[in-house]
Each structure stands twice: as structure tokens, then as C-alpha cells.
């Protein structure tokens, strides 16, 4: 059967209140390796260079990113062509992506800016990732249900850790099952509301290729597995809920992989389209 693919561009407006980066003579590119730090930050810095502006990107994730800088309402601006700059910024580096100059000295330089980025997940060095490989069984019983937030969703699927996650709206108490065989790494089962963990109650499973699948926002007290337990596809993990940072009852399902020091969301596919599911619950004895 046809599989549902979730590849959505990530567009994230960022603030630019940050310390200045080093400015090199003549507007040269800054391309310095960064030390390991907290994962997941990609930031744009805007600094003064003479009478112009330097635009630098800091990528302290463990994967390369493609950045897009868009400038609109430009007045007296030179150095960016039609106002769109696209660059690949390697992992753990700072790169100068643009240097803005005044067309006419003595007049102000004015513009509006927006900045976006997307991860370049590379299973092999230098190659962009694709939604191939293992096809995951549906991690629930019941339905049909609908996707309430897909990959790249503006509400919460806009970070390296969760970019390709999928939220599926479903009633509290829906059976949640393993989408793939593996070993249970960690569970949470006692959270009753939004705090302390934004994920709420969850199950995390390690697979034989090193990827993890995670099942979030489960019902309190419903988790049926424990860390270290071997599970098969279809093993009952617990019940869906509305715990953690959740705006309504749903299952948050994500596949992730450790890349360097960071846990990064990776593309995946289900074995069948979500929008045309049968009601499996009616077939159970």
C-alpha cells in the first residue's frame, strides 16, 4: 500500500539579540569550528561592519543545516542581489552568509529580515536523507484518526529533536502499541498533568539500527512495559492520554537518532496512509 511521507520545510523566525561575532577585515567569511555545547541552536547574528551590516549564522547542532535569509523593503542596500541568500552551514561552525553595503554613502541602509533553516540529515556523509528504509507499523489500535500536527509543524515540530514528529489526535485510552521491535530504553508513567516533563508519560524504544521511537503524552498509570524489556511490533505499550505539553488528547510519535551529542528527529514512513485506516478495534476479540 502507498505510504504516507512527511517532509515539510521548516521555517522558524528567530530573534537577533545576541553578542557580536568576530568581524574580519574586508567582510571575509567567518568559518570557525565551535566547541561542543547544548544541541539544537541555530542563530542569526547581525553586526555592524563599517557603514554596513554583517549577517553571520552560528550552528551548534551536530548536523549541517541549510539556512535561508530573506530581506524585504530594502532601501539603499547592496550586496544581496534580489534579497534571498541560501547557504549550507556545517555542524558546529559559524559562517558569514552576507555582508550588506550602502549603495549611496550618507543615506540610511534599511531592510526587514526573516531567517529560516532546515536540517540536512545525512545517513552518509555529503548525501541528504530520504524517507526510505524501515516502514513503521501504526503505533495504535482503533481509528480511523487524523493527523493534528505533521512534520515541521509551527506549534512544536520545529526543532532538530522533533522536526519529523507526527501528532495523531485520538481519544484518551486508545491502545498504543510498538511500531517496531526493540528494547525499551526508558518510560515515564506517573505524571498527571503538564508538569514536570513536557513529554508527559512516554515510552522510548531502541531499535537494532540505532534509531529510537518515542511515544509521548500517554495516560497516567497506563504504561505496560519497563526499561530493558524486549518488545515486538504490536506489543501493547500503554494508552494514549493528554499529559505534558499537550493541547488535546493525542499521540506524539517520533523517530530519532543520536548524531554526535544531539538526539535528532529523522524522516520515517508508516506502512499505510493514516487518512484511510480501518477501525482495528472492532476486529479485536
What SS3 class is residue 279?
A: coil
264 contacts: CB under 8 Å, gap ≥ 6: 61, 62, 63, 119, 121, 160, 161, 256, 257, 258
What fold does the segment set 135-283 form as a domain?
A: Glucose Permease (Domain IIA) (2.70.70)
**pTM (whole model) above 0.75:** no
Query: Is it the case that residue 19 has pLDDT exceeding 50?
Result: no
Instruction: Please state which of the ranges 9-18, 81-90, 237-246 shows the lowest mean pLDDT.
Output: 9-18
What fold does the segment set 25-119 form as a domain?
A: Immunoglobulin-like (2.60.40)
Distances in Å between the alpha carbon of 84 and those of 46, 65, 209, 236? 16, 16, 39, 49
Per the structure block, which three cell numbers stand in for 194? 503538564
Task: Sketch the domain layout of the chain as residue ranges.
Answer: 25-119, 135-283
* Separation between Cα atoms, residue 278 and residue 4, nearest integer Å: 15
134-190 residue pLDDT tens? 889 999 998 888 888 877 666 777 777 888 899 999 999 999 999 999 999 999 999
Query: Is it the case that residue 117 has pLDDT exceeding 50?
Result: yes
CA 56 to chain CA centroid, nearest Å: 22
- Tell me the pLDDT of the chain averaged across its residues: 78
23-79 residue pLDDT tens? 222 222 333 444 443 445 788 999 999 999 999 999 887 677 778 899 999 999 998
pLDDT top residue among 19 and 96: 96
Amino acid at each position: 500500500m502507498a505510504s504516507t511521507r512527511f517532509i515539510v520545510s521548516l521555517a522558524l523566525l528567530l530573534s537577533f539579540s545576541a553578542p557580536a561575532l568576530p568581524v574580519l577585515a574586508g567582510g571575509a567569511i567567518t568559518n570557525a569550528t565551535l566547541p561542543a555545547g547544548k544541541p539544537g541552536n541555530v542563530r542569526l547574528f547581525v553586526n555592524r561592519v563599517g557603514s554596513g551590516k554583517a549577517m553571520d549564522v552560528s550552528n551548534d547542532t551536530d548536523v549541517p543545516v541549510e539556512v535561508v535569509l530573506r530581506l524585504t523593503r530594502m532601501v539603499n542596500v547592496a550586496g544581496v542581489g534580489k534579497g534571498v541568500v541560501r547557504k549550507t552551514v556545517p555542524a558546529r561552525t559559524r559562517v558569514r552568509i552576507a555582508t550588506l553595503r550602502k549603495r549611496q554613502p550618507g543615506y540610511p541602509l534599511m531592510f526587514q529580515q526573516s531567517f529560516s533553516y532546515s536540517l540536512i540529515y545525512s545517513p552518509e556523509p555529503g548525501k541528504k536523507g530520504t524517507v526510505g528504509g524501515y516502514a513503521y507499523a501504526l503505533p495504535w489500535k482503533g481509528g480511523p484518526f487524523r493527523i493534528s500536527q505533521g512534520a515541521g509543524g509551527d506549534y512544536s515540530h520545529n526543532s532538530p529533536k522533533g522536526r519529523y514528529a507526527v501528532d495523531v489526535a485520538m481519544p484518551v485510552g486508545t491502545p498504543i502499541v510498538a511500531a517496531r521491535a526493540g528494547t525499551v530504553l526508558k518510560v515515564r508513567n506517573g505524571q498527571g498533568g503538564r508538569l514536570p516533563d513536557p513529554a508527559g508519560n512516554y515510552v522510548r524504544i531502541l531499535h537494532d539500527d540505532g534509531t529510537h521511537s518515542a511515544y509521548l503524552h500517554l495516560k497516567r498509570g497506563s504504561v505496560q512495559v519497563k526499561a530493558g524489556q524486549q518488545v515486538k511490533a504490536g506489543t501493547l505499550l500503554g494508552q494514549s492520554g493528554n499529559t505534558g505539553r499537550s493541547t488535546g488528547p493525542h499521540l506524539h510519535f517520533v523517530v530519532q537518532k543520536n548524531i554526535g551529542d544531539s538526539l535528532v528527529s529523522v524522516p520515517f514512513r508508516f506502512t499505510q496512509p493514516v487518512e484511510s485506516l480501518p477501525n482495528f478495534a472492532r476486529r479485536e476479540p
